[in-house]
Structure formats: C-alpha cells, structure tokens
Structure 1
Amino acid sequence: MNEALVRLGIDSWKPYVAALVLPPMPFLVLIVVGAWFLARRRRLGWGLVASGVALVWLSASAAVAGPVSHWLLPRPPALTEARIAELRAEARGNPPPAIVVLGGGIEGPAAEYGARTLNWRSLERLRYGLYLAQKTHAPVLFTGGVGWADTGGTSEASAAAKIAAEEFGRPLRWLEDRARDTRENARYSVEMLRAAGVRHVLLVTHGYHMPRALRAFNEAAAGTMRIEPAPMGLARRSQKAGVRWLPTNSGYGDMRDTVHELLGLLAGA
C-alpha cells in the first residue's frame, strides 16, 4: 500500500488514511451502521451497536491492549549491562558503532520554551540514545524531518539537537532532517552512516515500533551494516486489575500504536 501511494503521488494522504482505519473510527462506523439498521432490522441493528460499543471499550482498556501489543509485536530484549560493556569496548575501534535514534514526532510551538519541542515519544527515545552514548561513548545520529501530518517548518532532528546540547550537554554527531516516515528514516540514515564508514548501528526506538524499524533499516543497509536493536519503553504499566479493564488514555494509545504498526508492516511503510 505504501508503494502504491508513492507511485500515485498521494503519499501525503497517509495521515488521513491512518486516521480512518485506526481505532476508534472503524468501531464508530459500526455503531452508525447499526443505528441505521435499527428501524429496518432491529435485532441486527442492536447487535451492531452493541458490538461497536464493546469494541470501543475493549480497545481502550490496558487489559486488552497490552497483551495484544506484546503478542502481535514481539519486542527484542533490552541491552544488558554486559552487552553495553562490550559495546563500550567496540566504540574504541575505528569506525565505532553508531547509535541511531528514530524521531517519534514534534509538538507545535511551546510558549514555555519559545520554540517547537519534541513530543514525549521522541524525548524518551532521545533520552535513551544519549544514555547509551554516555555508557558506550558511541556517537549519536537523530533522524526525523517534518512528518506527513505536520505543517511546521522545524524538523524533529533540529529540535533534538537543541535539546541534546542544551539540556543534556551531549551534542549529536549527525542530524538527518529529511525523513517523513520510518522507511525514509532508514534510507537517509544509512546513506549518511555509510558515507562515514559506519558498519554497526544500534537502533533506538520504542519496543512496539522495533519490528517495523528493524525491517526498514535491514532493507536499507542491504547487508552492508549490522543493525542491532536497542529497544526502550519496555516497562509494563503498574495498574490494579480492575482499572486495567476500564477505558483509559494509556490503553487507547497502546491499541492505536499496535494497529498502526501492524498496518505499517502490512503496507510496507
């Protein structure tokens, strides 16, 4: 699907397509269809309405979203302290491995900062990438341009560079500011790192996003680089059992992220 949108020249439609197919839109449509049937086939109509309401509820509960996400999008294990120690030794080589942090979005102008800033996904990824850089002494590349759904002119990479230098005191080695999606993250990052002679990449992104990101980077590298996953965001939320079955923002977000990644994998995005 991704390639078809590109060939048709309508790849900018991707945010609209995603909004229409991600929860809760399909379930809301089911409810509307059920309501239309109420005056014609009452039993069918109520069945569709009840199904739509139940799916909206369950898709926003952590008790469903969490297991579904971990089952359909298996996460690679986190880097261990022993592995980080090995990477620290590798970083003394020439060339050293490179840490690649994938952007996850940017916020609009933030009055408190006087500029645009990274959203929470990008900030979490950047923080872990800089943590790895501190532990291993490997250089960092941040990849993220202006996304398909964004109208602003500031790239994620520019915002990340400012935060890394001014707030963490760790300047980034490379900025990739053209990518608009995961495939472009991979393509443009690999081009930059290949030119720098890098042969080993530590890929930093959220665990649920790692299957799609790994596929994109391995395809872009085409065997010329070793792509090693360095997933983050692997901690499970601590909630009481009863609360986990109630609709929450976190449950809703987890389900949308899961469906988004599955559609991305199927579409080749």
Structure 2
Amino acid sequence: MFFVLSKVIWFLLAPSNLLALLIAFGLLLAALTHLRHSGLVLAGIACAGLFVFGMTPLASLFLRTLEGRFPIAEPLTGAIDGIVILGGAQDPDASIGLGQPVLNESAERLVVGRALARRFPDARVLLSGGSGALTGSDTSEARAGALMLESLGLDPARILIEERSRNTHENAVFSRDMVQPQEGETWLLVTSAFHMPRSIGVFREAGFAVLPYPVDFRTIGHEGSLRGFSTISDGLRRFDLAMHEYVGLVAYRLTGRTDVLFPAPQAATVRDGTY
C-alpha cells in the first residue's frame, strides 16, 4: 500500500506536475465559474512558478544541500567485504530487450561500482533493485545492472542480485536479508549523491551498517549551484529531482523508515583503517 500511495501522491506533488495542474485548474475556474479573477490569479502564480523553479538556480541550491551531506568515504585503507549498488542507472526494459546496457543520467552508479569492484577484488558486489514501475514493466533493475557489469568484465560469480525491492526502504531491508552482514564487515553503499541521505537513513534503520560512496553529482561547487538553466524543462527536471528526495525524507521519517529527518554522517571504522 505504501508503494502505491507514494507513486500516486508523488505524481500530484511533483513540482512540474503540480504547477501544470494549478494552471489548468485556474483557467477552468476563470472560464467556467464566477471566480474569474481568482482563477486567473492562481494560473498566473503557477506560471510564475514555472519560470522561478525552471530557470533560476533555486533547484541546484536545493540539490546541493542533499549532495553535500555525505562526503565520499575516502581514503579506504582497510578491507572492503562488499559493495551495494542501488538500481536506477539504466532503462531495464531496453537493456534486457537489446541485450546491452542502456544507461541514463545516473550511469555512474554502475561505472564507479565496477571501478570499486576492480579496486577491491575480494569484495562481493550486490545489485539491489526490482521494478519501481507502478504499472507495466516488471523487469529487474538489478538483473539489467548485472548485464552491464558483466559486459565490463566483472566475474558473474561475484555478483549478487536482489530484485524484489521497489523503493529505497526495500533496497535496505532485502539487501540486509540477502547478505546478512556480520559484525566487523565493511560494506560500501554506491548511489547518487542526492539520494544518499535517504539511503543511509533507511540502511541504518534496517541495521545494515554501510559506508557512503556517493556518485552522480549534479552540482559541482559553488559556481555550479548558482548557474541558471537555458530551458525551463531542465530546471524543472532538477527541481523535481530535489523535491522527490525531500518529500521522501519526510515520508520515511513519518512512517518510521528512518529515525531522523535528515540523516548526517557518523564516525565509522573501516577494518585496518578509519573513516
């Protein structure tokens, strides 16, 4: 039920969808009721929102706060027992159908994950992700990711596939159940930097201690977060991305999937070294 509700509610709350719905509602009020002035004001405010959120640096500033929350876990001086790579880096239907990887903007999850697997040849590699689609596709993101890693030369015997999870909370719970991490083991978590706060929160709540290894940064430094957008669609896409995480953080806190609203770094120890 949570999964279905989260998809429906987000469809309505996604800033780009919400602004479009408000414009349509305002115009309908103006055309079909005696509230013409109110309807036009509402539509005008929503139109202004399209420009503010779509062309100003506001979206990047929101995203930068998320991306700067967890630094990359370097230097990694100790042994690494496993690497968890969350799904979302490719189009699973196209990848399975074509028999070759079809990557998206989050491709670094798999590319950097493969580099880490080469760097730590004894580490197990867990790909976590089923299908996040509400309807239609049931193609596993993790299985498509495995094809990608195998095409990059990773031994299939090292790959573990967790393909039941449909959201970040299930990523954590099902990954924990699959590998049953032992005390003293060190696992890396590879996901997009903007997604790391929510991911760390649910992994902690699930009792799976991981070290954050954020990738797929969308804002680079002060200058990168203050630059506007050349098209409204680009800015709205980034604003949707940031708001999805903030709404997710609130929803996960309210439902007990994390124990804090905005997870922060904690001191962690890597065997034979420190982080």
TM-score band, normalised by shorter chain:
0.7 to 0.9
Question: Once the 2 structures are TM-superposed, how far is the Cα of residue 97 of structure 1 from its aligned partner?
Answer: 2.5
Among 174, 190, 197, which residue is 1:204 paired with? 190
In the alignment, structure 1 segments of 5+ residues that lack a partner are none
Aligned amino acid, residue 175 of structure 2: S
Other-structure match for 2:214: 231
Find 1:189's aligned residue among 148, 158, 175. 175
CA separation of 1:146 and 1:152: change in aligned 2, threshold 3 A: same
Deviates more, 1:24-33 or 1:49-58: 24-33
Partner of 1:215, secondary structure, is helix
The answer on 1:151 being equivalent to 2:143 is no
Kindly state the Cα deviation for residue 246 of structure 1 after the two structures are TM-superposed: 3.8
One-letter amino acid of the structure 2 residue matched with residue 65 of structure 1: A
**Aligned residue pair count:** 247
Residue of 165, 171, 180 corresponding to 2:166: 180
Tell me: CA distance 1:241–1:69, structure 2 relative to 1, closer, same or farther (3 Å): closer
1:129 corresponds, among 97, 113, 124, to: 113
Cα deviations by residue, 1:200-230 (Å, 9 ceiling, x for unpaired): 2211111110011001101111xxx532111
Which residue in the other structure is 1:165 paired with? 150
- Per-residue CA deviation, residues 28-60 of structure 1 (Å, 9 max, x unaligned), is 232233324436355433322221011122222
> Out of 64, 70, 73, which is 1:76 matched to?
70
Offset of residue 121 of structure 1: 4.7
Alignment partners' CA distance in 1, 2:146 and 2:42: 50
Matching residue within 43, 61, 80 for 1:49: 43
Write out per-residue CA displacement over residues 150-170 of structure 1, whole angstroms, 9 at most, x where no aligned residue: 52343111111111112x101
Are the equivalent residues in 2 in contact too, given 1:60–1:255 (CA < 8 A)? Answer: yes
- The code of the aligned residue for 1:149 comes to L
When residues 153 and 52 of structure 1 are mapped into structure 2, their CA distance, relative to the original with a 3 A threshold, is closer
CA 1:246 to 1:54, structure 2 compared with 1: closer, same or farther past 3 Å?
A: farther
Instruction: Give me the CA root mean square deviation.
Output: 3.1
CA distance change for structure 1 residues 154 and 198 in 2, over 3 Å: closer, same or farther? farther
TM-score of the pair, normalised by structure 2 = 0.77
